[in-house]
């Protein structure tokens, strides 16, 4: 038994009419008078019904195509039970001309098999109404026979969504790129579980990166005197060298800059409210690299602590994180975060803001460079810094001034002030 071709019927003088919906798919079994596609001119939209019953063997049309009378829509594997063609009157031509009303002859009952398709049955007029409101008609429960959707159903759907403070127009999520091949097609692989900490932090990182307009300023701080001072620290009683991590000095320098630039010590929960939370405390987050993933404990009230105390606390919280013994609350409620790659290597990078904070300071590995100062080159220890900030709250000029202040705080003589 040969396949049956279903073509676009007589639509009058209209040519190159756009297909706005394809209501069936390949492999689907349909009955005569089931709607196949919806076409739309600049005046009206009409469903084209099937003139036969059978199983779709090939679909020759897609949304966006331009069609005219006689164009092939699809081919059917002819059903043994039905071989009588349904008369297709030139109704469609009339409907394009009349615009306002789609006649019952064309509005045939759509009986879509639930196990094959989830496309709702609805008249072209209802579909057009739904598109104008940005409503996915397939999510609307129809009140007519066989679940057919009418305009009143769409109005009720919109009202219900509004009452629930939901968006009528649903944002389209970026479509996931589907791999054409499996990884195993190219060689041996191993499937491993993502560490729990990384799984938990991933949603926060994604939220921060997609909702906060990040900008990153890169600069270098001259820490020659600071390093000289740090390496000269000794115990006044034993004479033994005191080991103080450079990060402790950076924490104190950052606190001083936060006091001068309070917008960096703020948060915005909802930009639409026009409000921002100005924090009166100075809790500095420290990104800790652990075998289980990145964790960010806080050095609470860093403004009231000496460098030696901060250095000791940095070691303690890092150890708690690596052993997964840190209190969950200690990972929240920060002013600003420092993430340092100095112990590993690297210079500049783009750190992601730790929401709901509005800025983060990235620190690279310091190195000695020849810097031209006062007419001659001098060997200086330079620290690469990368400041990422929320551009909704902080502009570029303010970020540059913040960096300059931070560099000054880490520069000559500041280390001595901190130690006193």
The residues assigned a catalytic role are 391
Residue 96 near residue 12, CB atoms below 8 Å: yes
Q: What is the three-state SS of the chain? A: CCCEEEECCCCCCCCCEEEEEECCCCCCEECCCCEEEEEECCCCEEEEECCCCEEEEEECCCCCCEECCCCEEEEEEECCCCCCCCCCCCHHHHHHHHCCCCCCCCCCCCCCCCCCCCCCCECHHHHHHHHHHCCCHHHCCCCCHHHCECHHHHHHHHHHHHHCCCCCCCCCCCCCCCCCCCHHHHCCCCCCCCCHHHHHHHHHHHHHHHHCCEEEEEEEEECHHHHHHHHHCECCCCCCECCCCHHHHHHHHHHHHHHHCHHHHEECCCHHHCCCEECCCCCEEECEEECCEEECCEECCHHHCCHHHHHHHHHHHHHHHHCCCCCHHHHCCCCEEEEECCCCCCCCCCCCCCCCCCEEEEECCCEEEEEEECCEEEEEEEEEEEEEEECCCCCHHHHHHHHHHHHHHHCCCHHHHHHC
State how far the Cα of 279 lies from the Cα of 264, in Å rounded to an integer.
9
Residue 37 near residue 22, CB atoms below 8 Å: yes
Q: Is the backbone peptide bond immediately before 198 cis, with ω within 30 degrees of 0?
A: no
Residue 213 near residue 355, CB atoms below 8 Å: no
Nearest to 103 by CA among 154, 44, 143: 44
Residue 53 near residue 82, CB atoms below 8 Å: yes
């Amino acid at each position: 038994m040969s396949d049956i071709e279903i073509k676009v019927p007589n639509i009058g003088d209209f040519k190159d009419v756009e297909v706005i919906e394809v209501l069936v798919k390949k492999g689907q079994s349909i009955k005569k008078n089931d709607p196949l596609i919806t076409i739309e001119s600049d005046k009206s939209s009409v469903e084209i019904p099937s003139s036969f019953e059978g199983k779709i063997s090939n679909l020759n049309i897609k949304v966006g195509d331009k069609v005219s009378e006689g164009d092939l829509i699809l081919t059917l594997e002819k059903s043994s039970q039905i071989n009588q063609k349904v008369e297709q009157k030139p109704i469609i031509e009339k409907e394009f001309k009349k615009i306002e009303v789609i006649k019952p002859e064309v509005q045939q009952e759509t009986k879509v098999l639930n196990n094959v398709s989830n496309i709702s049955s609805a008249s072209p007029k209802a579909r057009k109404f739904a598109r104008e409101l940005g409503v996915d008609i397939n999510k609307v429960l129809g009140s007519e026979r066989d679940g057919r959707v009418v305009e009143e159903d769409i109005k009720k759907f919109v009202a219900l969504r509004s009452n629930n403070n939901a968006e009528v127009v649903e944002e389209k999520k970026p479509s996931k790129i589907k791999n054409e091949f499996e990884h195993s097609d190219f060689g041996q692989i191993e499937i491993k579980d993502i560490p729990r900490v990384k799984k938990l932090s991933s949603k926060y990182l994604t939220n921060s990166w997609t909702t906060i307009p990040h900008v990153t300023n890169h600069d270098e701080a001259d820490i020659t005197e600071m390093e000289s001072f740090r390496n000269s620290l000794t115990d006044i009683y034993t004479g033994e060298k005191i080991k103080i991590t450079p990060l402790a000095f950076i924490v104190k320098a950052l606190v001083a800059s936060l006091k001068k630039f309070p917008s960096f010590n703020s948060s915005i929960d909802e930009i639409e409210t026009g409000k921002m939370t100005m924090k009166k405390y100075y809790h500095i987050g420290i990104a800790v690299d652990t075998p289980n993933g990145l964790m960010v404990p806080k050095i609470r009230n860093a403004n009231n602590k000496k460098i030696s105390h901060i250095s000791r606390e940095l070691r303690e919280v890092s150890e708690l994180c690596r052993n997964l013994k840190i209190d969950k609350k200690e990972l929240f409620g920060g002013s600003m975060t420092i993430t340092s790659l100095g112990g590993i290597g690297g210079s500049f990078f783009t750190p992601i803001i730790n929401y709901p904070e509005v800025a983060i300071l990235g620190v690279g590995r310091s190195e000695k460079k020849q810097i031209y100062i006062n007419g001659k080159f001098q060997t200086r220890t330079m620290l690469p810094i990368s400041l990422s900030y929320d551009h909704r709250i902080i502009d570029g000029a303010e970020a540059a001034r913040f960096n300059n202040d931070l560099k000054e705080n880490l520069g000559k003589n500041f280390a001595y002030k901190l130690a006193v």
